[in-house]
Structure 1
Amino acid sequence: MNSFEIIYDFASSAGFKKLQILLFPIGFFLFTRFLLFLIENDKDEDLFKNPEQQKFKVYLMQYASIFIFIVFLIMFGSKYYKTYNLYNTSLFKTEGFVTNFHPMPEGGHDSERFSVNGVQFQFSDFDISHFGYNNAKSHGGAIDKNKYVRISYIKVNNSNQILKLEIRK
């Protein structure tokens, strides 16, 4: 009997992990809190000259990081919800050998492309916009020419986004 190994499944934590981009503004906010702590505890003004002006700049950076976090949360949250909805309502499936495989170069500047049973797929390591599988062969990805795969996907903006990838063992 043919057994498959699940490489990527949006419905598991793999899709949710792509929201890690939200950690950047949070980290920046925490860094500015640390700077504020340093400014407020620099009694002799050894590190920071004109502490009031420095505090103002740090507060501006904090508000900017909060704003960026909210924008990212709205953008990625809405896309995640839309993708989750499509995963539950409009999922297509195909199974077969990978053909017409065009790997993404290690340095990027191109995309990885291939077909399975006439269905074309294309992705890049550097695009996380639709939460689909995007791990190119040059960066450790599992898709390669002549591999037998089972793919569950959705159609977004005239492209097929892989939401579940299984490879035959």
Structure 2
Amino acid sequence: MNSFETIYDFASNDGFKRFKILLAPIGIFLLARFFLFLIENDKNEDLFKNPEQQKFKIYLIQYISVLIFMLFLIMFGSKYYNTYNLYNNSLFETEGFVTNFHAMPSGGHDSERFTVNGVKFQFSDFDISNFGYNNVKSNGGAINANKYVRISYIKVNNSNQILKLEVRKQN
């Protein structure tokens, strides 16, 4: 009897973790607020010369960071919704040994590729545009040559995106 360990599952919080990219514009906004606080409390103009011009620059950075946050939220939210919809309605499954394994080098500039039961998969650590599994072997990923896996996937733009990865436990 095969027992499997779930490595990645989009339906759990694994897919939702990609939203952490939204922390970047929030961090920029908060840093800008801190600088604005410093400018407004610099009565003797020791730190900032021409505070009105500096305030304008800080306000501009804040507005741009809010726009970037909204843009990321809309883009990732839309993509997440589409992936969730495909996960519930168009999920395929394959099971077998990993063959034709090509690991991505630790320096990047390539992708990890392999085949399971005739189905080809390809991904990279550096591509966060989708919500599929993308942890390559050189960065601690679970897939390697001759490993027995069960993969649930969807078809997106002529490629197969892993939404659930299970690895057979060693007895």
TM-score range, shorter chain: over 0.9
Q: Report the counterpart of residue 156 of structure 1 in structure 2.
A: 156
Q: Report the counterpart of residue 50 of structure 1 in structure 2.
A: 50
Q: Report the counterpart of residue 69 of structure 1 in structure 2.
A: 69
CA distance in 2, matches of 1:5, 1:53: 57
CA distance in 1, matches of 2:128, 2:8: 14
Listed as ranges, the matches of 1:102-117 within 5 Å are: 102-117=102-117
Matched position secondary structure for 1:74: helix
Matched position secondary structure for 2:77: helix
Q: CA RMSD in A?
A: 0.4
Aligned-residue offset at 1:129: 1.1
Listed as ranges, the matches of 1:141-152 within 5 Å are: 141-152=141-152
Q: Report the counterpart of residue 31 of structure 2 in structure 1.
A: 31
Query: TM-score, normalised to structure 2's length?
Result: 0.98
The one-character-per-residue Cα deviations of 1:37-87 (angstroms, maximum 9, x if unpaired) are 010011111110010000000000000000000110111110000000000
Listed as ranges, the matches of 1:91-130 within 5 Å are: 91-130=91-130
Aligned-residue offset at 1:128: 1.3
Unaligned runs of 5+ in 2: none
- Counterpart amino acid of 1:77? G
Matched position secondary structure for 2:125: coil
Q: Report the counterpart of residue 81 of structure 1 in structure 2.
A: 81
- Runs ≥4 residues deviating over 4 A: none
CA distance in 2, matches of 1:128, 1:151: 19
CA distance in 2, matches of 1:64, 1:130: 24
Matched position secondary structure for 2:128: coil
CA distance in 2, matches of 1:20, 1:123: 20
CA distance in 2, matches of 1:128, 1:87: 18
- Counterpart amino acid of 1:63? Y
Aligned-residue offset at 1:130: 1.4
CA distance in 1, matches of 2:130, 2:57: 35
Aligned-residue offset at 1:2: 1.2
The one-character-per-residue Cα deviations of 1:77-127 (angstroms, maximum 9, x if unpaired) are 100000000000000000000000000000000000000000000000001
Identity over aligned residues, as a percent?
81
CA distance in 1, matches of 2:161, 2:42: 52
CA distance in 2, matches of 1:129, 1:52: 39
Aligned residues: 169
